Structures are given as structure tokens and as C-alpha cells.
Copies of this chain bind each other. A is one copy, B any other.
Amino acid sequence: MSAAFDFESRFAKGLPVPQPKWTGFPKYNFIGGHNDPESIPVEGLIEATARVLRRRGQTIATYNQDCGPLGDIEMREFLAERLAKYRGMSATTEDILVTSGSGQALDLINDILLESGDTVIMEEFTYQGAMNRLRARGVNVLGAKLDDGGIDVAALEAQLDALSAKGVVPKFVYTIPTVQNPTSSVLSVERRAALLKITRDRGVPVIEDECYADLLWDGEWPASMLAMEGSDHVIHVGSFSKYLAPALRLGYAVAPWAVLAQMIACKGGGTGALGQMVVADFLKNNYEQHVDDLKVRLKAKSDALVEALEENFGTSAEFGVPGGGIYLWIKFPPEVDTLKLADKALEAGIAYNPGPQWSVDGEAARNHLRICFANPSIEEIREGVAKLADVFHAETGIPPRSANVSRS
């Protein structure tokens, strides 16, 4: 037989790097946005499936189930109700587009707004996926200064004016105001109002990513920016990945019709009906109970992680205790290069996200890392952090240890 056909020589120019073969998850899996397996509501999803398929299962015989391209109507009804009740929004089912994860919502927003050479502002530490998406399009990404309360709005205003003086108007500001990724900060109502005003005044749209907004431990938190006055330049994005299950690949965007009409026109791969129908039915009946239970479990894991870090790293690990979400953002002394140490950690079965990958200026987060505490068990969190301390100590001397203490 002849040599295998050479597809590679036919590939288009400028493709992304091919994916490596999948080799499985590490034992201590602190990366990505994986969630708590014990919190998957298996019986609730089974009950919802039976209810919704008996009620309207035949609709899946048609593309878009006679609901049109915005997505399953019961899913959009659920979202409109939840966004009104918990995020203060007055969106109708016609203002909501269901997407295959919030990642697809971001892709579609980028599709319709961005061209190579455009400028976008993101929080200086931010969601890697959003940043990579922008850079792959040749967009100039600038970081907005963060403090413990989220975006420093005065600094953002000065940044926008400095850009304006150079004739640059960013295509949008991308922000995660409620449980910021990776820092877990929550932007106050006052800062939200100021951010809305300075961007609206300067004609700069805002992409508000609220993927984590359901996961604040305590009751009271600010409404979504899109729920506030003077927010008609905001496109809101959300997800079911963080408060239900990431493998479902379900997210959504809330935006004016002119934006949604253009996003739909760009939306190639459709979003599966079964997931939408089952999730909508389950959450219509169980949202509060499910999210309350999940938060208790996540808070316990967060507490275990904080305790394990204090016990194993002492003052070598600086972090704010998260008030919600699934991440902890940790700063180490400058000698610790988290990108270099990632391979050594992986040899010990530990995967974490190196800070530079979550930072607009990679160098500025060389000694940071992000841990997702939702997926591992409490036991794995304790073991994994202890082993991570061993690796870091062996490689860098940090955390420091007295000579007569053997740890493994």
C-alpha cells in the first residue's frame, strides 16, 4: 500500500497548534473549571428527563424544536425568571440566546465585534479562555488594574482617556464583576455604576461575564450590571457549567436583538436540545435547593484548601479567602516561578494553573497560581497541597522548613 495520505500538506495557513492525544486527568486535579462530582443531581436530572420528554419529547424531531434559533423556549423562560429574581434583570425570552457553553457566547461576540488589530481591555488577571480567544484573532489585549474590590475604576477611566488621546477606542471592556476569575473579588454597586458611566460616556461596550454569580456563599450581592441604569451598551454572558455541570456545555448571552440576530447568523454548531430541555426542567423545580447544597459543599472545600495552604505553606502563600466561586488565586515569593514548576508538580500528580496564563502581563503573575477546589475531594485537597508544598520546597526552598522535619 502507498504511504498514508498527506493531509497536513493540504492544511490552511495559520491554524492553531494541533491538540495532543488525551492521556487522562492527574490525581490531584486543581486545573480548569471542573466541578464537584458528588453534587451532580443524578436523580433530579432523571426525573426532569422523564417529565420533559413525556411533555414535549416529540419536538426534538425538528431543528430548534419549533422554538427558533435562540434556543429551547423553556430554557429561555427559566433564564428570564432566574435573571429577574437573582440578577435584577428584566430580560424577556427574546433577549436571551442559549449557547454551547459561555465560551461559544464569547466566540460569537468576538465574531460580530472584532477585527484583527482591535483593542480590548480585560482585568489584568482574567479568564485564560477569553484572553486566548482574543489573541488568536490578533486583538491587542490591555489589562485594567485590579484591587481587592475588582476593577480600579478611576484607573480604567484614565486608561480609556490615554487611549483616546492616541485615537484608540477599545472595542469593549470584558469584565467578570461577580466572583472574578481568578481573584474572586466582587465589584460593588458603586463601582458597577461608575464603570457603566465611564464606558457608556466613551462609547465602549461592556461584556459582563457572570459565570460565577450563583456561587456566592452569602445572601446579598450586587445586581448584574445589565440590570442597572445606563447599561444598554452591556452584553451579559452566563453559564450552567459552574453551578450545574461543565460537560453539559450550556451557556447564554443576553443582548439587544440587533446583537443577537447577528450572533445567531454566525452560530454554526447548534446547541443540543436534550441538555437544554432537561436542565431547564430540573432547575425550574430545583434551582434553590441545588445551588444551596452545592454552595455548602464548595464552601467546605474552600475551607479545606485554605487550611491546607496555611498548614503547608504558612506565610509563603498569600491569598484572599474567597467569598464564593471555585477558585483560589495565590501569590508566592518572587523566587517561585509557577510556570517552571508546573511540570515538576505534574510528575507528582498535581495539576494547577500557572499565574502567567491567567494574566494579561504574564510576567506580572510569574509567582501566582490558580487552584480550582471544586473537583477534588477534601482528602485530595489536603494531600495535593501537602505534596505541592513538597515539590515547591524541593525546587525552590519555599516554603522554608526547619531541617529536622521530614514530610514524606
Cα–Cα distance between A257 and B58 once the two chains are bound (Å): 37
Q: Is the CB of B15 within 8 A of A103?
A: no
- Interface-lining segment among A38-46, A84-92, A185-193: A38-46
- Within residues 43 to 70 of chain A, which ones have a CB less than 8 A from any CB in chain B? 45-46, 49-50, 53-54, 57-70
Q: Is the CB of B19 within 8 A of A40?
A: no
Q: Is the CB of A249 within 8 A of B265?
A: no
- Interface-lining segment among A160-168, A269-277, A315-323: A269-277
Residue in contact with A269 in the complex, picked from B54, B62, B104, B171, CB distance below 8 Å: B104
Q: Is the CB of A37 within 8 A of B50?
A: no
Q: Is the CB of A258 within 8 A of B58?
A: no
Cα–Cα distance between A274 and B245 once the two chains are bound (Å): 10
Q: Is the CB of A25 within 8 A of B66?
A: yes
Cα–Cα distance between A42 and B60 once the two chains are bound (Å): 10
Q: A147 an interface residue at 8 Å Cβ cutoff? A: no
Q: Is the CB of A269 within 8 A of B272?
A: no
Residue in contact with A233 in the complex, picked from B5, B53, B233, B275, CB distance below 8 Å: B5
Closest to A268 in B: B107
Q: Indicate the size class of the contact surface on chain A.
A: 35 or more
Q: Is the CB of A278 within 8 A of B274?
A: yes
Closest to A276 in B: B272
Residue in contact with A272 in the complex, picked from B29, B68, B232, B247, CB distance below 8 Å: B247
Cα–Cα distance between A5 and B264 once the two chains are bound (Å): 20
Cα–Cα distance between A345 and B171 once the two chains are bound (Å): 44
- Interface-lining segment among A108-116, A306-314, A382-390, A392-400: A108-116
The listed residue with most B CB atoms (<10 A of its CB), out of A57, A99, A250, A269, is A269
Q: Is the CB of B10 within 8 A of A113?
A: yes
Q: A334 an interface residue at 8 Å Cβ cutoff? A: no
Q: Give the 9 A-B CB pairs with smallest separation, nearest first.
A: A22-B68, A100-B269, A104-B269, A247-B273, A18-B261, A37-B58, A42-B57, A249-B270, A60-B247
29 contacts between A and B (CB under 8 A): A5-B256, A7-B205, A7-B256, A10-B171, A15-B266, A16-B266, A17-B265, A21-B257, A22-B64, A25-B62, A29-B62, A34-B63, A37-B58, A45-B49, A46-B49, A46-B54, A49-B278, A62-B375, A63-B247, A65-B247, A100-B270, A103-B269, A104-B269, A247-B273, A247-B274, A248-B273, A248-B274, A249-B270, A275-B275
